[in-house]
Amino acid sequence: MGSRNTGTPELLSTLDQGILTLTLNRPEARNAMSDPMLEAMDRELAFAEGSNEVRCVVLQGSGRAFCAGGDVKAMGENPITPSKLDDRVEYQCAIQRATSGRLVAMAKPTMAIIHGPAAGAGFALALACDLRVMARPAFLLTAFASVALSGDFGIGYLLTRLVGTARAREMMFLPERISSDRALDMGLTNWVYEAEDLPKQAAVIARRLASAPPQALGYMKEHLNRALSSEFGPYMDREVRCHIDCSQTADHLEGVRAFAEKRAPLFSGH
């Protein structure tokens, strides 16, 4: 396993067998977001996008929480002054696109491992991942209304698409803890495991993602994102082009041979 220098201890990064694991590392603050953490995430996700070594990205938290979202204590100690308001808006627009936006858009599968609370913008980061796996004691919480904020990091957009407009409004207006089992019923997580089983089970899923054919998964992710906004005809036309492109890859030929030989395929990424 290779550790990467992120430039800050607040985000840890390792690359192992195609899996880039990013660990939010402010356990004393329940991994509340900070500018150094988010800027390091920006750099690591940019690396993941451009590197053939990275086949999937895993996001997790250290200590007892996944991520408490924004640092509410820091907000109280360092309020945004009117003279700095425009600069802060510009900065946050950019950093949200570089983190939540990049997790949604990158042509590689992403997964959040939620072993503890995911609240506010931390919940949004988890929703920005393609897949989520939770421990049974963990919970999800929008939290924004409790501190008179409207929400950021794409929370309303992502929630609406996962649970529908009525449930998203309920969760935003009247924040309540969503248990892991309820999250599974609502479609907010894909799997729930006992806490002691979570690391092993999450590793199995991550290895499956990393061993899958990357071009095919990249196109799949594009299609699934476009399905939310594209008309059906243009969607199908793009689907055909990508499908035929995949048919020209070495990975497709390997998949066909493996099927005929009744063995597991070994996809090279070519």
pLDDT bracket for residue 10 (50, 70, 90): very high
pLDDT at 7: 97
pLDDT at 233: 93
End-to-end CA distance of the chain: 23
pLDDT at 199: 97
Mean of all residue pLDDT scores within the chain: 95
CA quadruple 242, 244, 249, 252: dihedral positive or negative?
Answer: positive
For the segment 122-140, what is each residue's pLDDT rounded down to a tens digit?
999 999 999 999 999 999 9
Closest to 126 measured CA to CA, from 196, 134, 198, 6: 134
pLDDT at 257: 93
For the segment 45-78, what is each residue's pLDDT rounded down to a tens digit?
999 999 999 999 999 999 999 999 988 777 767 7
Q: What is the mean pLDDT of residues 209-228?
A: 95
User: How many whole angstroms separate alpha carbon 24 and alpha carbon 103?
Assistant: 15
Q: Is the pLDDT of residue 81 over 80?
A: no
Lowest mean per-residue pLDDT among 16-30, 102-116, 132-146, 221-235: 221-235
